Homo-oligomer: A and B are copies of this chain.
């Protein structure tokens, strides 16, 4: 169902009930761009820490607009043995709802816009008929303003936006308006003597309306109802109605209801997100970190500085998340799915050993046809994301004893994937762990190298040619990470570089330390973000205290416990899901395809060892990750108590046939749930 400002109110109940009845729902967003700073390959450096990645995305991606939001709800029909889907495709636009409302600015990135245009994206629908929205602060502000105005009207002291605290007396009417105001008073006096009940004044300026309100409230404290009305041409004029006390009350009541309705209209699309949060339903997305960040940023609150705070807000807004790109990149799927982009994934989960899920579009909803790809329409992308999730979940069910063809979205089989968001292109940290600490891989084989800006990847290959295979992760024009294949080479490289003039080498640890010191210094010097200084992508409302919107924390549910996963990062074209047509390497960043090349090598060389180090270092997190790497999903129990998950050290050695690669396994420690097999 396509939802714009024109049918939003009429559709809202359908949206609410779809969410309420759903087993799970899938979402997807389309944005006006990806990065306003570095290009994508620098934005997603292979050796980012989760904090760095979050900070970069927050800084460089949040001033774009999420202008299309897809939701597809999935409800399992036991009798039909199929999912009933309700896809919604919302067009969203921050149309200012009145003269004092925030006038948001957002960025468009030409390549993203061009890409969406080439996919037939309808910009006119967004800009002409997009549904407005408010974040929680704005909503609170607006409700307070409305309340305040109403109280002041009721007390007969005029409209608050015009009244300064110092002028409670009769209105100060400037000389040049005195004639005009006197004429108005004359007309109103006539209203009391003749048979007319209503007096429509001519359209006039806001300043004149202010004067009229003040004057009439002062001169005629009783017997009049005064209201601003808009003509079809959007001209505002004042309507004066002669009323008795009862009618005055009735009219005030009606006005209040209209005002409430107007506030609700202004909150607009945010109401849908509130409903999702409240439902606590599983929300599935594909490579969904940016979707989640944008959703919170646009419809809840400005993103917190700190990653830990972001995780907490995320759990409030989306109590349960699942990222199909992470799922597809994780064992047992990793071996079967070579390309985890949404479009490719959708094709692959139709083929054996997967089964296309049985789905049916609910009556009254347009059904999407996956044969006619409508990729990058958010509603369609949400729909196929849900399909991918179902296929993969059901595939996991085939390992149960007895095998199950249908796996519910709350099954323990999929639980290990909850609340882990895919981290794109990070070599050794596959996901952001929303409900716990993140993996901390050792990076003592990594060097931070600075060099003249003429250097290209090949120069780095040459510089390190003595050390065999290396991986290069560009940071900017004059710096990159170089990962050596063996840690003990690091000291040799450091030594030989000591007297080099054209380049400089630091260990990863030194680099991190230096960066930390710089940040601490900056915090002392309190460099404010240049963006947002003058209300950028934030409303012009002043928010006295920064913090999460009222009521958000209350809505939190306990974080899902205990699962830990780990592995290497798969490199796929994930950004294409983010409306990025191609890795647009600019000359300056020298992404002469060596970058991707280096990354590809990185995966090859890190597939087995890389992960084990990570696993070790994350032991401190409570439940050790993936102890039994050769164990593939199987089970001898009813759904929800899958053996290999519960006690892999005991039952884990069956079903090795699915495994193609052997890895050195760390010691296994039993824990309640573990990621079945990662990477």
Interface residues of A (CB under 8 A from B): 32-33, 36-39, 65, 93-96, 99-100, 102-111, 113-114, 116-118, 121-124, 126-128, 161-162, 164-167, 172, 174, 176, 205-207, 210, 454, 456-459, 461-462, 530-531, 534-536, 540-542, 582, 584-589, 592-594, 596-597, 600-601, 604
Contacts and interface: CB of A to CB of B under 8 A. Distances in A.
B207 A593 contact: yes
A103 B39 contact: yes
Nearest to A33: B105
B541 A587 contact: yes
Given A121-B127, A165-B454, 6 more contacts: A39-B103, A103-B586, A106-B110, A535-B588, A540-B589, A541-B587
Given A105-B109, A164-B456, A96 B114 contact: yes
A630 B460 CA distance: 78
16 contacts: A36-B105, A36-B536, A65-B108, A96-B110, A96-B111, A103-B109, A104-B110, A105-B107, A123-B127, A174-B601, A176-B604, A206-B593, A207-B596, A530-B530, A540-B587, A540-B589
The 4 tightest CB contacts between A and B, nearest first, are A207-B593, A530-B530, A206-B593, A540-B586
Q: Give the secondary structure class of A's interface.
A: loop
Contacts of A32: 108
Given A105-B33, A207-B597, A210-B593, A94 B110 contact: yes
A459 B166 contact: yes
A116 B95 CA distance: 12
B37 A100 contact: no
Contacts of A541: 587-588
A29 to B, nearest CB: 17
Contacts of A589: 540
A582 B205 CA distance: 11
A62 B6 CA distance: 33
A166 B452 CA distance: 14
Contact of A534 (B37, B106, B116): B37
Contact of A594 (B113, B207, B459, B582): B207
Contacts of A111: 96, 103
Contacts of A106: 107-108, 110
A166 B124 contact: no
Given A207-B593, A541-B587, A95 B114 contact: yes
Contacts of A167: 458
Contact of A99 (B99, B206, B457, B582): B582
A482 to B, nearest CB: 16
B584 A103 contact: yes
Given A108-B106, A593-B207, A596-B205, A462 B587 contact: no
Contact of A174 (B166, B205, B535, B597): B597
A98 to B, nearest CB: 9
Contact of A161 (B104, B207, B592): B592
Contact of A117 (B110, B116, B127, B593): B127
Contacts of A461: 172
Contacts of A205: 593, 596
A578 to B, nearest CB: 14
Nearest to A587: B100
Contact of A166 (B36, B123, B462, B535): B462
Contacts of A65: 108
B210 A592 contact: yes
A307 B83 CA distance: 66
